[in-house]
Amino acid sequence: MAWQKEKIVGSCFAVGAAFAVGASFLHLFLKGELPLGLGLGLPFVPFRKRKPVRVYMDGCFDMMHYGHCNALRQARALGDQLVVGVVSDEEIIANKGPPVTPLHERMIMVKAVKWVDEVIPDAPYAITEEFMKRLFDEYRIDYIIHGDDPCVLPDGTDAYALAKKAGRYKQIKRTEGVSSTDIVGRMLLCVRERSNSQSHSSLQRQFSHGHNSPRFEDGASSAGGTRVSHFLPTSRRIVQFSNGKGPGPGARIIYIDGAFDLFHAGHVEILRRARELGDFLLVGIHNDQTVSGKRGAQHPIMNLHERSLSVLACRYVDEVIIGAPWEVSKDTITTFDIWKVVHGTVAESDDFQKEEGNPYAVPKSMGIFEVLESPLDISTSTIIKRIKRNLKKEASEKKYYEQKSFVTGD
């Protein structure tokens, strides 16, 4: 009986060992580390790993918003690696008018999107045969991606005709409810300017990419102060943008909060600095009522959920608190196990420097508050001023040419 037991146990060990060896070989084979035919009496044929599918998407990415990020997310889902071309300032000026954000800021924004693997600066506005060949040969691109909105060049031709003809074109769905033109319209309302038909035409040319953008509306929403938002948030979209991972055991959790309105390169760079201080970056995003109460009834320009998606799309952010309290309390610090609270030097408000009514009084008293030098001197107000400057310049140039035409009789 004892022998039979030993035999049974021995057989079990033998079967287990054979299974383990077989599983190991299968694992190595699937990883591409075991040549096909090895040990099978077949000719030696090296196993080749599957070539990653590389997809390309381009754009101006001026006034970058969550719609752009969602497009990049969808593009990345069509391949294994996403390469993004950012159109040069010169090309944008020639085709649409001066951009609000210069190339180096737009590069910062695109590189920070967590679905982007590689960025090509100074991409052409229209894909030429020469550039397409460079994409296929030098960058090993398999497919060129664009949204389902038509992209028509000034001469009336399809900007992606060559890619379609080559059979290397794929299409994604455009994110409804937001466009750069719409956001600029909100800004104009924010600074109490009203766009006439000419300025609307100007904005349409400057920010649209071949599709009809939403009309500007003068109506404001209720209490929050955010204007003309057509965004309809869903839990599915938030999940799509989320990392879905919490902090690991003993992680140093960094907390930074703010409005993050008109998410720009200044925001990205301070988030990058904050993330470098610890292992997990938690970002608190103030609700519309809080921002409106602190900055005025016409703010924020983007509503809470729009701002949350823009922040969530940033590769340096691990998690967000949607509708974070203005004051960082002991309860917040304890609940989220916050190791350090930080704030940038460039901000719309100087409350973080005040002796009285400082929202960071608690973390300061605990010795866990730190002010970080902001890498870029850019704020939401900076972006609004650029918009106003561009529009005034265009209006001035239009008036000059109208007067010149009247004098010469042309």
pLDDT tens readout for residues 352-362: 888 888 999 99
Looking only at Cα atoms, what is the longest distance across the chain?
A: 117
Mean pLDDT of 255-276: 97
Closest CA to 151 of 186, 133, 124: 124
- Asked if pLDDT for residue 49 goes beyond 50, the answer is yes
Minimum mean pLDDT among 242-246, 358-362, 383-387: which range? 383-387
Kind of pairing, strands 280-286 and 253-258? parallel
Closest CA to 296 of 226, 357, 218: 226
Confidence of residue 191 (pLDDT cuts 50, 70, 90): low
Mean pLDDT of 153-179: 88
- Give the separation between CA 103 and CA 210, rounded to whole angstroms: 21
User: What pLDDT was estimated at residue 5?
Assistant: 40
178: Cβ–Cβ under 8 A, 6 or more apart, which residues?
65, 66, 67, 230, 231, 306
- Asked if pLDDT for residue 287 goes beyond 90, the answer is yes
Mean pLDDT of 319-345: 97
Closest CA to 256 of 148, 347, 140, 163: 347
Minimum mean pLDDT among 151-155, 200-204, 312-316, 380-384: which range? 200-204
Helix axes 265-275, 103-111, angle to 10 degrees: 50
Kind of pairing, strands 81-87 and 118-123? parallel
- Give the separation between CA 150 and CA 148, rounded to whole angstroms: 6
Backbone angles phi, psi at 408, to 5 degrees: -80, -15
Mean pLDDT of 377-384: 91
- Give the separation between CA 168 and CA 162, rounded to whole angstroms: 9
User: What pLDDT was estimated at residue 132?
Assistant: 97
Mean pLDDT of 29-51: 56
Closest CA to 207 of 176, 187, 182: 182
User: What pLDDT was estimated at residue 151?
Assistant: 81
Kind of pairing, strands 118-123 and 280-286? unpaired
User: What pLDDT was estimated at residue 226?
Assistant: 44
Residue 250 tokens, joined: 């003993």
Closest CA to 54 of 141, 163, 170: 141
- Give the separation between CA 41 and CA 375, rounded to whole angstroms: 62
What pairs with residue 254 in β-bridges? 281, 340
- Give the separation between CA 140 and CA 143, rounded to whole angstroms: 9
338: Cβ–Cβ under 8 A, 6 or more apart, which residues?
253, 254, 255, 282, 332, 363, 368
- Give the separation between CA 104 and CA 172, rounded to whole angstroms: 27
- Give the separation between CA 89 and CA 69, rounded to whole angstroms: 20
- Asked if pLDDT for residue 188 goes beyond 70, the answer is yes
User: What pLDDT was estimated at residue 324?
Assistant: 97
235: Cβ–Cβ under 8 A, 6 or more apart, which residues?
none
DSSP single-letter state for residue 278: S
User: What pLDDT was estimated at residue 357?
Assistant: 87
User: What pLDDT was estimated at residue 247?
Assistant: 97
* Burial of 43: CB neighbours in 10 Å, binned 0-12, 13-18, 19+: exposed
- Give the separation between CA 4 and CA 376, rounded to whole angstroms: 77
Q: Structure pTM?
A: 0.77
Residue 361 tokens, joined: 């009084």
Measured CA distances, 306 to 67, 205, 287, 344, 394 (Å): 9, 24, 11, 22, 30
